[in-house]
Structure formats: C-alpha cells, structure tokens
Amino acid sequence: MEEKKDQRDQWEKAYRNNEDFFGEEPSELALSVIGTLEEEGAKSILEMGCGQGRDTFFFARKGFDVHALDYSAEGIERIRAKAEEDGLELGLAVHDVRDPLPFPDESFDAVYSHMLLTMELTEEEIGYVLQECLRVLRPGGLNIYSVRNDHDPHYGQFLHVGEDMYQNPMGFVVHFFPEEKVRRLSEGYLLEGIKEFEDTSPPFVKKLYEVVLRKPER
C-alpha cells in the first residue's frame, strides 16, 4: 500500500539526513528497564524498531545477546557500520513487523521496543505484532514496550488519519494509546505494569507509557 511506503520513506529520509535522529544516549525506557532485565537473568533480547541503534548498543555493551530489527535500511546500515567499528556482534535485519518474525518459537528471553507500536500501525496490526512477540518469547520472558499515550500534548492535534492516529507537521503518523487500549491488547500475557514517563529525545518532549508484559510459564 502506498501509505505504508510513504512512512518508510519518511524514516529513510530522516535517518539519511541525521546520523543520530533521536540522539546518541540510550532512551529513558532502556535506562528504566535495564535493572529489571538484569534481575530477571535475561540473556537474549529481540529489539524491534531499533532505529539507529541507541538502545541496541546500550544493551549490547551491557552484555546482552541482541538481535535488532527495523524496516529502515538506512537505520540498519548505520548500526551495522558502527557495530563493526566498535567490534560488537549484533544480529541485524531489515524487517517489517507486520510480517511474521523471522525466528523460531521461544527464541528470546525478552522482547523490547521503544515507540515502535506508536507508529502507523492499526490496532489489528498491533495485536498481531504482540502475538508474534508472545510466540518468540520463552516461557516467563518479558515483552517491554513504550507507546505515546493520550496525555501527550500532540494527542488529538494535527491531521486525524484513523483510530487514535494523527499525522504531525513532520509527516510522521503517530498512534496514541489510552490505558484501556494497552490493557485490551495484553491478551495472552500477564500484565506486570503500566507506568507513564516523559521522553525528552528530539525534537520535542513526549508522554509515554512503559508497558511490561510477561509470557506465562507453562
């Protein structure tokens, strides 16, 4: 569909024009959950929507085995080049999460995504993504994600394009999440927590939910 292609092109252009679109430092989400991942004894992490790798490198340098996916080839190539410079081994692939994840069942201790699900994805597509995450998680594993919420200053602003989605002046479509939607989409998981926080990465402050889901043990 042309609409999907346009958003991919938006990200390719953004990453091509700015080597650190969101900055070099790890996100507030990564800093918030690193302790939890370490306490859980997680070793392998699947990061979805890794962008240009600011959280990817943070986790890898902490000793995690990281596989990172993004549908922007520019982003993945940026990460690959930097990983080679730094001597880090990462699993990297260009992938659209609307397609099945390219991993066997129960492959990872944790799945992580910062603002991926807040992109131009319908609720049906998001439900599919979360169920794919459930499939590739080992029993007891965590799915940690963040989404912009309905307290965000941009919620309800700009061009309404469907569901809780609005296209901002930069051309990006954002899907905003009321807490009820987060709870509804957690089907099949144990909902460990929902916490609001602010993300200060450029170009503006965003209000998000940190969501922690657990795959039930057998």
**Mean pLDDT rounded to a whole number for the chain:** 90
pLDDT at 142 over 80: yes
Instruction: For residue range 33-69, list pLDDT tens digits in order.
Output: 999 999 999 999 999 999 889 999 999 999 999 999 9
**Could you tell me if 214 and 192 are in contact, meaning their C-beta atoms sit under 8 angstroms apart?**
yes
**Per-residue confidence (pLDDT) for residue 3, from 0 to 100:** 37
pLDDT bucket at 85, cuts 50 / 70 / 90: very high
Which of 90, 130, 83, 91 shows the shortest CA–CA distance to 111? 130
pLDDT bucket at 201, cuts 50 / 70 / 90: confident
**How far apart are alpha carbons 158 and 27 in whole angstroms?**
26
The lowest-confidence range among 115-124, 129-138, 197-206 is 197-206
DSSP H helical ranges for the chain? 2-17, 28-39, 54-61, 73-86, 123-136, 179-184
Mean pLDDT of 6-26: 65
More confidently predicted of 112 and 173 = 112
Q: Which CATH number fits domain 2-214: 3.30.450.80, 3.40.50.150, 3.30.70.20, 3.40.190.10?
A: 3.40.50.150
**Per-residue confidence (pLDDT) for residue 122, from 0 to 100:** 94
Q: Which of 48-52, 108-112, 204-208 is most confident? A: 108-112
Kind of pairing, strands 91-94 and 65-70?
Answer: parallel
**How far apart are alpha carbons 2 and 73 in whole angstroms?**
18
More confidently predicted of 51 and 22 = 51
